[in-house]
Amino acid sequence: MGYVIADLSAAGIDRLEALWRELLEHHLAAAPHLAALGTARDPADSWRVRRAQYRQWLAVPRAAVLVASDAEIGR
């Protein structure tokens, strides 16, 4: 099994939503002490904010998002 690393365009940002939600869930479970800072955003709102941030970052010349995927599944 091999992997493919590819540049993800701004149009493909929504492919990262499931990964972001998993990361959010992990952070909430791994760092319960952060609740002292206030209530965490719900997953949909958190993704909305992160998605906008990704799009803003990708507007910068030469910025890139690299993604790895299983070569058998494809890009």
Q: What is the pLDDT of residues 6-59, one digit of tens each?
A: 999 899 999 999 999 999 999 889 998 988 888 888 999 999 999 999 999 999
Q: Report pLDDT for 74.
A: 54
Helix (H, G, I), strand (E, B) or coil at 39: coil
In 1-75, DSSP assigns E strands to 3-8, 65-70
Contact between 11 and 56 (Cβ < 8 Å):
no
Residue 23 has a CB neighbour count (10 Å cut-off) of: 13
Read off the amino acid at residue 64.
A
Looking at per-residue pLDDT, the higher value among 40 and 71 belongs to 40
Contact between 13 and 55 (Cβ < 8 Å):
yes
Q: Report pLDDT for 73.
A: 63
* 1 pLDDT higher than 80: no
Q: Report pLDDT for 53.
A: 95
